[in-house]
Amino acid sequence: MTKQVNEIKESLREKLDPQTYRIVCECGTEPAFTGKYWDCKTPGVYHCVVCESALFDSSTKYDSGSGWPSYYTPLSETSLKQRIDTAHGMIRTEVVCAQCEAHLGHVFNDGPPPTGLRYCINSAALDLKPS
């Protein structure tokens, strides 16, 4: 790692609680049905907990039954980046914040219309700003 990356990670370690740091910096996950937003119905916009970029609108959130906040589309086409994740013996598509590359969760092709996508996101990676 470069010195700059190490400095950023140390800064985040001081800013974030240990679980949030593990999720956004080390590609962790929170247990299903435990995150603060998995069943949240409050209208607003969900932002990246690291850089505060707007990621998802609550109007695209739905109950997928998975135990994690799920959305069928991001706020904009440029809000997220996707990467192939081969950890844990699976091939999945990881979703990260396009601005700071914080790990958010994964996207799957089993969501509702109109996109057919399910962005399965860790609550710890999000900060809801109510409307």
pLDDT score for 5? 58
Closest CA to 70 of 6, 121, 104: 121
In CATH, what class is 3-130?
mainly beta
Instruction: Specify the range with the lowest mean pLDDT, choosing from 9-18, 38-47, 71-80.
Output: 9-18
pLDDT score for 8? 76
Residue 127 in tokens: 């900060």
What is the pTM for the complete model shown?
0.93
Confidence check: pLDDT of 110 > 90: yes
pLDDT in tens, 56-71: 999 999 999 999 999 9
For 59, the 3-state DSSP assignment is helix
Annotated catalytic, 100? no
Which residue of the set 25, 40, 48, 120 is catalytic?
A: 120
